[in-house]
């Protein structure tokens, strides 16, 4: 039994949009839309539904397409990624549609894409040409637990600097990568500290809270403005929430990964909460106990719903000035 009770499924306040009208696109690849301004400028890749039960981004992207947005310069690619998982959405079991066969955001290494044949790998192979052609990526996600929005900057300082220029959300995260596989924001040049390409992954809050859709809308608009594809007037007209007065960076030192199904937390699990003292027991799996490695240790993106081997249960980090 876990030391912390598994919380009830959060209420579904926003509803999955009908994305069927966006299937055809204009690229020959389902649910991929590419708009070229005809003018020099960056190639921007916006991806939603990397996980099929995280549809706040699909709301924002669908509204952008319905508006008929076109970039002022450069190119914009809008992708509804794991549409097959999304088609399985069931409000009675809202976590089951995260993916079909495996996590789409763990398969982006070339070696992984060439090994095996799953729904997610087939989809990633379709999307690789668009990802590799991009200069900037925004991957819009949400979280299973109630948590303030969080910008995942991958492992590189260049992405944190770009997130600081974006100005939102308040919390920026530099982590150590994902032990289960390469994420899209780390593929190719996006994982090269010396390359100019930047990629961000926004966690907009809890999957189905109303505020998550507003965070997705705001972040998408600001990202298009920062890349120069949209005017400042257009961006400001679409802001629904105030920009945080300041940002803070949290740097991950280690990920706590379940070894067996007997994993359990030893402290109350509150996202972005702080364990004051180094050496405090945090979690246990069999005979192994994880302790806080330093004072003021932050618990980042903990999960209380999936206790299985290989699952990242929480990340441990500390705050720095952004």
Are residues 215 and 241 in contact, defined by beta-carbon separation less than 8 angstroms? yes
Separation between Cα atoms, residue 265 and residue 227, nearest integer Å: 41
Sign of CA dihedral 249, 269, 140, 198: positive
Question: Digits of tens for pLDDT over the chain (322 positions)?
Answer: 344 456 678 888 998 999 999 999 999 999 999 999 999 999 999 999 999 999 999 999 999 999 999 999 999 999 999 999 999 999 888 889 999 999 999 999 999 999 989 999 999 999 999 999 999 999 999 998 888 999 999 999 999 999 999 999 999 999 998 878 999 999 999 999 999 999 999 999 999 999 999 999 999 999 999 999 999 999 999 999 999 999 999 999 999 999 988 899 999 988 899 999 999 999 999 999 999 999 999 999 888 766 678 888 999 999 986 6
With CA atoms as reference, report the closest residue to 209 among 146, 141, 302, 150: 146
The HSE-up count of residue 51 (CA atoms within 13 Å, CB side) is 20
Separation between Cα atoms, residue 275 and residue 317, nearest integer Å: 10
Separation between Cα atoms, residue 226 and residue 162, nearest integer Å: 9
Longest dimension (CA), the chain: 61
Cβ partners under 8 Å of residue 91, min gap 6: 12
The structural domains of the chain, ordered by start, are 20-236 (3.40.630.10), 253-321 (2.40.50)
């Amino acid at each position: 039994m876990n030391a912390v009770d598994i919380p009830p499924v959060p209420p579904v306040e926003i509803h999955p949009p009908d994305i069927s009208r966006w299937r055809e696109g204009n690229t020959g690849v389902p649910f991929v839309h590419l708009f070229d301004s005809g003018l020099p400028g960056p190639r921007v890749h916006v991806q939603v539904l990397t996980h099929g039960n995280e549809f706040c981004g699909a709301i924002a992207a669908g509204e952008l397409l319905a508006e008929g947005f076109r970039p002022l310069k450069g190119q914009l690619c809008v992708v509804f990624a794991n549409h097959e998982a999304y088609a399985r959405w069931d409000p009675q079991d809202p976590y089951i549609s995260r993916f079909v066969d495996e996590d789409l955001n763990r398969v982006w290494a070339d070696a992984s894409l060439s090994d095996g044949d799953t729904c997610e790998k087939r989809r990633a192979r379709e999307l690789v040409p668009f990802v590799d052609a991009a200069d900037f990526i925004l991957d819009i996600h949400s979280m299973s637990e109630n948590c303030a929005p969080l910008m995942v900057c991958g492992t590189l300082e260049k992405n944190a600097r770009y997130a600081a220029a974006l100005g939102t959300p308040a919390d920026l995260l530099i982590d150590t990568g994902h032990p289960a596989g390469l994420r899209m924001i780390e593929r190719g040049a996006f994982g090269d500290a010396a390359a100019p390409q930047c990629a961000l992954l926004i966690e907009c809050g809890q999957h189905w809270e109303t505020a998550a859709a507003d965070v997705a809308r705001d972040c998408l608009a600001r990202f298009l403005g920062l890349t120069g594809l949209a005017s400042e007037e257009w961006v400001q007209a679409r802001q629904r929430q105030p920009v945080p007065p300041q940002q803070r960076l949290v740097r991950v030192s280690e990920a706590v990964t379940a070894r067996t199904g007997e994993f359990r937390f030893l402290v109350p699990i509150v996202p972005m909460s702080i364990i004051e003292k180094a050496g405090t027991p945090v979690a246990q799996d069999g005979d192994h106990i994880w302790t806080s490695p330093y004072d003021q240790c932050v618990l980042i993106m903990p999960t209380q719903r999936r206790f299985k081997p290989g699952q990242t249960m929480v990340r441990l980090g500390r705050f720095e000035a952004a």
